[in-house]
Structure 1
């Protein structure tokens, strides 16, 4: 963290020195000077100037740079051009001195909103919104619109006022007849039983009300609607999305115990049993080796009792496969370019997980030969170190030595990374969208949505969606079909605004207060990053496409081919290559300088321990019915008793959402609907 603070801390100035010929540099500086970084329309003017350059050669370079400068300045980065040198200063949290939490949230929200407004103004997005809102006759449903799924706040307020008028002992039961939340997952081709609208379209419509633009993301995506079954048309209370988690997140990995330092601490404090942990380590090594096809890489004896020689030989085999693949990609690139076509991705042998897929042949693709050899080399090294330390015979003493020695630390890091890969593949999800919509945002609906994501109903839906599916990457590594159980045990999320989230703070339902719950249900902060992280949220789609074009123009091969197993986040890797092609330090640009707070929730007791092969996580999670009842008792009863809440409800409903969206489309800058 200290290194990041030094390099990327709030207020740090970053030099901007792209590869440019003198005349190109003069042109870039002239463009910045003409527009003037201090004028309010600087970003728009830079973007307009960028579009005057053609998407080719040196013009592509200048166009990309101008788009990049426009995006960064729009996100609050200070752009300075002086004496031919260009510098950037990211905002961080201290950009404007002593800011309140609301000031910080407003500043970050405003920066995100600018990209969102551009997206809302796109013809295709406007057409989608208008099509969703237009009433159409749908079979068995009559004339319906997405607006039918937005509750009438005024009518809801009247119903809640009637609950408040009842004796206190009767209010809880009466409230359940007015607010009865249910979970509905947006399966492909599924339609709303009340309106006939596709569930995915309903979710997408409400997603456009969020503070940041709507981007599709790679990997798993499970879209969730929370609806009120007690009201006409079962109106939408909130939306959520479970997505594939990022592979490396320090705060999360420390919280779970996937990092050596946190594992060592838990052994030292007695939180984990040393003998059980040692057994889990050895079992994980063998399980990971079993998921790598090795018959063409090593002998059975080497797998059973590995030595240093086999690990070194496999490292050389991995390096050779990577070199051969580079040559293969270069030849593919030259062939495609020679035919005068756009260079298509190099997809390899396997196209998808079909019943007749030849997994052995897929494992012999150069990409996977290299990955198999590299993975097997590490695993056999770890197994050798564990055997030499007598981990099976003397687990406690062996662990002490492993945590102290260089080889022991490396072996532990390798196996803990295997636990992480196994957990992230099927047992952990990221909550990328979570919140309430009008009028339920006034009723702390965001807390309800977050809590329901930890329900057994969501776990079951996740298992139905992803359980039993063939893992394409793991199967190519194994040379045989491999399936995962999709046993969701833990969810995490990140605060959008870098400060405390009102939605997740103190979000706890205790079993002693709600006996129907199988255990405490708790969302809590698990770590923070004051200097921000790496990502592309601060770069617009037009800039990202220009950077991808730069990456393709630079290399003599297409190195990012959007293949399973090629690496995480093809978009991020292509953008990195584009920045490198410009001569810019990609870390300095991709480090968005927006602080983050990370939150986590265990869906079942002992979930974190179970992600390291330790005992725990046997009990089911709470049902959505019991979670909703606890939420009503803990928060809703008191909330609806406030006169200001009922007054706010009366102003919200179908017209408020529609007005907010269309105000943004026309540049009137209304506030977004979601809160954090």
Structure 2
């Protein structure tokens, strides 16, 4: 069920100067009468000048409010003036699928085009498109695009032959493409800029992937993907997996087993063992006996210590100290204020859990577990253990498919489905496991020694770009034996539900900068330092703090109105128990070591999807529109904005293709 659009009244705080109040009033009056879509075209500076606002940087309240208001109108919000202020109303989702897609696409293009206007991005694109010497050949990024006319003609001639397209997976690392001399990451980045939404790096783990075509001389790019750290909490995903806390505990309550009891006991022990305590003992916060017989006073001292070091962490000198420590100096990292605070807090929680729940698990039995459920305090501690286990493993055994799609002309052949299947194939799972079979930064900093986390994935989630209409993940299922599994098992992308349309993707960098500056000047009690280990989504927290500094409703303004469909690919049969760590070994639905998986997936895709599309004349004609002759008109080329002072790339500088 879609939420109704909720209007919000926005005005500057009471301590804003008269000049700021008047400037905001003029801006809102202008924006209220602006045609839909005109704000994004004209840019923030145009509206600031039109409202006769001068020296905006010297008016941080007005700067944050003005940039936020412009972004909201960019996204389709309307403004109505009244006595109490300015009422902003978010756009209603259209019931028409194509109109809704167009609305979302326009919203996404605003930030993407803002990024493509940046001089550094334009230089990157231009350098990739110009020819360079590689061996005895002149090559450019255009050599990695397939001419649509050539591909369409080849498909017409070949009929059902699978030799025309030969897809394979290439994991993007620091190496260079042997055929073109480009860095693999630069190739991936160039084609990522052709997406509808802006390119942004993802905090945490990230493994970019190229899907290339060995049937062409330079192995043209079919599509790209990226496996990244997941969103920590997605209710629909967690419930579907069966590891949502209350759902899991209800299952355990109705069927308590010794295996679950043993797992809870192991979790409590490992949580305590993986916390560095030498400095806590040295500073008198703990005594050795407190670790085996904790008292409420000890737990209180640890919490006081955590708060004291949390406050110290937000001092600038502490921030510089953390950033200057080498990654593998685990004791040094553990003793920083950031991790001292985290360790004291975690140890206080663990000792409290052990005190209350431990008595029912010594020894761990199904009977003891049943008794624990009759104790409300023990149930509370069980919830904490499960949440901690899920929080620890969500970033290691679960990943998100944050980028997935095909480029022209392959996209006309539903190659997005090919990319989706290959993105969860054995080669990708093996590469991910090898890449991240290394000490966890946060866990190792908490323990003061290297701690390895499980790198074998159990589940990969993703979302559609649009919340309505067809998606490349629709009906994307295949027999597991395509990837070396059981032929009776069906693998693929299951629809889990819909996202909550919440985030910061609708705010420009100008707005984020203004909001961050305002929150800093207003003395926010919570500071975001962009240090690994502080918490998830620093951009979201910064924007929220800035909106709060304006006194505006952050929860309403952070709703970007772009509902998306959630999908998930379970990779193991014991999804819940392996994901939580109850089972130590994954029961894979595929063969992670299958060497010929790329070929088998490609054959399945060609027979299931590509062959049908290639037989349609309208599809072939659409492919032929992607040409590599001057002027280059190709859907895989980055669409650099023109106008507003931006010049088109000189076509004379581009390579000449005669095919």
TM value normalised by structure 2: 0.87
Number of aligned positions between the proteins:
622
Unaligned runs of 5+ in 1: 165-170, 333-344, 669-676
Which of these residues, 203, 206, 209, is aligned with residue 194 of structure 2? 209
Are the equivalent residues in 2 in contact too, given 1:80–1:86 (CA < 8 A)?
Answer: yes
Question: 1:511 and 1:184, CA in 2 relative to 1: closer, same or farther beyond 3 A?
Answer: closer
Are the equivalent residues in 2 in contact too, given 1:291–1:477 (CA < 8 A)?
Answer: yes
In the other structure, the counterpart of 1:341 is: none
Structure 2 SS opposite 1:80: strand
The alpha carbon displacement at 1:458 in A equals: 0.8
In the other structure, the counterpart of 1:493 is: 462
In the other structure, the counterpart of 1:572 is: 540
Matched, 1:137 2:111: no
Give me the whole-angstrom Cα distance separating, in 2, the residues matched to 1:116 and 1:556.
30
In the other structure, the counterpart of 1:625 is: 599
Which of these residues, 613, 620, 624, is aligned with residue 646 of structure 1? 620
In the other structure, the counterpart of 1:602 is: 570
Deviation track 1:608-656 (CA, whole Å, cap 9, x = no partner) reads: 4311123352443363333223222322232323333223222235433
Are the equivalent residues in 1 in contact too, given 2:458–2:570 (CA < 8 A)?
Answer: yes
Matched, 1:319 2:307: yes
Are the equivalent residues in 2 in contact too, given 1:362–1:479 (CA < 8 A)?
Answer: yes
Are the equivalent residues in 2 in contact too, given 1:116–1:214 (CA < 8 A)?
Answer: yes
Are the equivalent residues in 2 in contact too, given 1:183–1:457 (CA < 8 A)?
Answer: yes
Give me the whole-angstrom Cα distance separating, in 1, the residues matched to 2:346 and 2:470.
39
Matched, 1:31 2:19: no
Give me the whole-angstrom Cα distance separating, in 2, the residues matched to 1:658 and 1:128.
18
Which of these residues, 11, 17, 29, is aligned with residue 17 of structure 1? 11
Matched, 1:348 2:313: no
The alpha carbon displacement at 1:257 in A equals: 3.2
Are the equivalent residues in 2 in contact too, given 1:259–1:413 (CA < 8 A)?
Answer: no
Give me the whole-angstrom Cα distance separating, in 2, the residues matched to 1:559 and 1:407.
33
Question: After the TM superposition, which residues 586-601 of structure 1 pair with which residues of structure 2 at under 5 Å, given as runs?
Answer: 586-601=554-569
Give me the whole-angstrom Cα distance separating, in 2, the residues matched to 1:310 and 1:664.
61
In the other structure, the counterpart of 1:657 is: 634
Which of these residues, 118, 122, 128, is aligned with residue 118 of structure 2? 122
The alpha carbon displacement at 1:38 in A equals: 4.0
In the other structure, the counterpart of 2:264 is: 281
In the other structure, the counterpart of 1:303 is: 291
The alpha carbon displacement at 1:253 in A equals: 2.2
Structure 2 SS opposite 1:318: helix
Give me the whole-angstrom Cα distance separating, in 2, the residues matched to 1:434 and 1:597.
14
Structure 2 SS opposite 1:484: coil
Give me the whole-angstrom Cα distance separating, in 2, the residues matched to 1:657 and 1:452.
24
Matched, 1:234 2:219: yes
Which of these residues, 374, 379, 382, is aligned with residue 412 of structure 1? 382
Runs of 4 or more consecutive aligned structure 1 residues displaced over 6 Å after TM superposition? none
In the other structure, the counterpart of 2:402 is: 432
The alpha carbon displacement at 1:662 in A equals: 4.2
Which of these residues, 178, 182, 191, is aligned with residue 197 of structure 1? 182
Question: After the TM superposition, which residues 252-271 of structure 1 pair with which residues of structure 2 at under 5 Å, given as runs?
Answer: 252-267=237-252
Which of these residues, 366, 389, 396, is aligned with residue 395 of structure 1? 366
Are the equivalent residues in 1 in contact too, given 2:261–2:361 (CA < 8 A)?
Answer: no
In the other structure, the counterpart of 1:451 is: 421
In the other structure, the counterpart of 2:204 is: 219
The alpha carbon displacement at 1:118 in A equals: 2.7
Are the equivalent residues in 1 in contact too, given 2:253–2:370 (CA < 8 A)?
Answer: no
In the other structure, the counterpart of 1:339 is: none
The alpha carbon displacement at 1:55 in A equals: 5.0
Are the equivalent residues in 2 in contact too, given 1:489–1:617 (CA < 8 A)?
Answer: yes
Question: 1:125 and 1:321, CA in 2 relative to 1: closer, same or farther beyond 3 A?
Answer: closer
Give me the whole-angstrom Cα distance separating, in 1, the residues matched to 2:17 and 2:371.
58
The alpha carbon displacement at 1:278 in A equals: 2.6
Which of these residues, 516, 522, 528, is aligned with residue 548 of structure 1? 516
Give me the whole-angstrom Cα distance separating, in 2, the residues matched to 1:92 and 1:257.
34
Deviates most, 367-376 or 617-626? 617-626
The alpha carbon displacement at 1:77 in A equals: 1.8
TM value normalised by structure 1: 0.85
Structure 1 SS opposite 2:155: helix
Give me the whole-angstrom Cα distance separating, in 1, the residues matched to 2:176 and 2:483.
36
Which of these residues, 479, 483, 491, is aligned with residue 448 of structure 2? 479
Are the equivalent residues in 1 in contact too, given 2:78–2:90 (CA < 8 A)?
Answer: yes
RMSD between superposed Cα atoms in Å = 2.9
Give me the whole-angstrom Cα distance separating, in 1, the residues matched to 2:259 and 2:633.
56
Give me the whole-angstrom Cα distance separating, in 2, the residues matched to 1:517 and 1:439.
32
Give me the whole-angstrom Cα distance separating, in 2, the residues matched to 1:320 and 1:660.
53
Question: 1:233 and 1:517, CA in 2 relative to 1: closer, same or farther beyond 3 A?
Answer: farther
Are the equivalent residues in 2 in contact too, given 1:439–1:653 (CA < 8 A)?
Answer: no
Structure 2 SS opposite 1:18: coil
Give me the whole-angstrom Cα distance separating, in 1, the residues matched to 2:349 and 2:371.
21
Are the equivalent residues in 1 in contact too, given 2:148–2:409 (CA < 8 A)?
Answer: yes
Give me the whole-angstrom Cα distance separating, in 1, the residues matched to 2:68 and 2:236.
30
Unaligned runs of 5+ in 2: 647-659
Give me the whole-angstrom Cα distance separating, in 2, the residues matched to 1:123 and 1:360.
42
Are the equivalent residues in 1 in contact too, given 2:398–2:458 (CA < 8 A)?
Answer: yes
Are the equivalent residues in 2 in contact too, given 1:150–1:653 (CA < 8 A)?
Answer: no
In the other structure, the counterpart of 1:48 is: 46
Are the equivalent residues in 2 in contact too, given 1:47–1:67 (CA < 8 A)?
Answer: no
Give me the whole-angstrom Cα distance separating, in 1, the residues matched to 2:206 and 2:7.
37
In the other structure, the counterpart of 2:230 is: 245
Structure 1 SS opposite 2:303: helix
Question: 1:54 and 1:222, CA in 2 relative to 1: closer, same or farther beyond 3 A?
Answer: farther
Give me the whole-angstrom Cα distance separating, in 2, the residues matched to 1:102 and 1:388.
60
Question: 1:161 and 1:658, CA in 2 relative to 1: closer, same or farther beyond 3 A?
Answer: closer
Give me the whole-angstrom Cα distance separating, in 2, the residues matched to 1:102 and 1:69.
27
Give me the whole-angstrom Cα distance separating, in 1, the residues matched to 2:322 and 2:385.
30
Deviation track 1:236-285 (CA, whole Å, cap 9, x = no partner) reads: 00011122222222222222333222213544787xx7332232222222
Give me the whole-angstrom Cα distance separating, in 2, the residues matched to 1:372 and 1:117.
43
Give me the whole-angstrom Cα distance separating, in 1, the residues matched to 2:565 and 2:233.
15
Give me the whole-angstrom Cα distance separating, in 2, the residues matched to 1:246 and 1:517.
28
Give me the whole-angstrom Cα distance separating, in 2, the residues matched to 1:361 and 1:516.
45
Deviation track 1:499-531 (CA, whole Å, cap 9, x = no partner) reads: 35521122111237x4844553211112224x5
